[in-house]
Amino acid sequence: MTLEDLYPKLFIGGEWVTPASTRRHTVISPLTEEPIAEVALASNEDMDAAVAAARAAFDEGPWPRMPIEERIAVMERWLELITARKDEFANLITSEMGMPITVATGGQAGIGLMLLQDAIRIAREFTWMETRIAPIGNAIVSREPVGVVASVVPWNGPLSVALLKLPPALLAGCTVVYKTSPESTLDGYLLIDLLKQAGLPDGVLNLVPAAREESAYLVTHPGVDKVSFTGSTVAGATIGSEIAKDFKRLTLELGGKSAAIVLDDADVDQFVAATKGLSFGYSGQRCTNKTRLIVPRSRAEEITAKLAEMISALKVGDPFDPATEVGPMTTSQHRDRVEGYIQAGIDEGARLVVGGLGRPEGLDKGWFVKPTLFADATNDMRICQEEIFGPVVAVIAYDTVEEAIAIANDSKYGLSGSVFSADPKRAFDVARRIRTGTVEINGCTPGFHVPLGGFKSSGIGREAGPEGFSAFTELKTYGLPDGVAETLV
């Protein structure tokens, strides 16, 4: 059976099954605007079946009761299989969502493999059980799997986010219903097919591409113990309010409107070079992108001119061309949304320096947006407060460092940020005052072995690192007679 033969099916209970509904989603190439595949859409009845399979695998199957070494062995086989098909994953992602092939290879397949490798390492080192002996009592404290997890993965990071969520959940002993976005689910089919080959027991992981209504049905399903969601803040707020009624465990990684603060002693060339990736990575379709560029007023013209030079030189075009730096938007609706924000920036009085409305020259087909730079922006503008999720950045000038910090923190979001300075200690002192989950000094990313997540409306909880494992466990305490606890751990 080829990969294409799987697209009309769902993976439930260890088998590729025909869905209860005849509804399909046509995957359209963002480059050619032509159909490239049709995938199944799960109905509520299919969600019931997937949750039932995961529930049975958790309550009655071997997976949660296996020694951790045996679960690790399955993950290691999965790692080998994914590694062998790395280029195929990258090509699928570029086909379905228009991500430049170099980014799909490094930022999706490459980072995904790093996350899986790190999850295996953490599972070996993680404290699953410990003794606590004191005059007032003897105990074992253990980390137990949280249960059935609804894992909801966004369209913009289909493989990397899947491998951020699935390995810790599975290694912790959970079972999972894995909900992919129909726009970018082709790589998900390959991912699950390889995990089946790796020897995962039936029902432990179930694949259900679904639209919004059925996704909402899944996360509120009474058979689900935990929801792990990455997506928009609006959707996250709805999920949080609904599932709180049932006290489900919850991790939310949501939107961002991240700021880069440039201090007056910063190396401008270093900042501009870093901005190419930090602000325009994933063609702008990444929640951690630094889209508010907060610069000293005394250097604003200098910095704006160098940013304009860099942005004007970005290669926009065929995402399969290794030289391409900015590909198309993933859907036509999203392209229209991004252009709506560009119009809003113009209407609100920001100075359009580079880019703007209309298609990039020579690209009459494909859902492309011109990489766009606004200057003379103020932080109350929509382009500075709302997440655009496209290749659009705004320069905001400040007079004092106190003002720069206040501007950075004047956002409902708190996902990421950057500080640039010739003095790393000075930059660190400023970074400590920024209310975000991650702050990068001079563009240095912290890696993927650390907790990732946001403050404020950017989410709840953390993923990756040992903290990401903890999110898929419940603490359980056993009281024991004297001398017994030490014999059981």
Decide: 487 and 471 in contact? Cβ < 8 Å.
no
CA atoms within 13 A on the CB side of 276: 19
Report the relative pairing of strands 440-441 and 10-12 from DSSP bridges: unpaired
CA distance 284 to 309: 18
Report how far residue 145's alpha carbon sits from residue 174's, in angstroms, rounded to the nearest whole number.
Answer: 5
| 486: annotated active-site residue | no
Q: Residue 360, Cβ neighbours under 10 Å: how many?
A: 18
Count CB-CB contacts under 10 A for residue 251. 21
**Among 253, 325, 387, 440, the one annotated catalytic:** 253
Within 10 A of 285 (CB to CB), how many other CB atoms are there?
Answer: 24
Beta pairing, strands 148-152 & 226-230: parallel
Which residues does 406 contact at the CB level (< 8 Å), separation at least 6? none
Q: Which of 174, 214, 287, 339 is catalytic?
A: 287
Residue 253 annotated to the active site: yes
Which residues form the catalytic set?
A: 253, 287
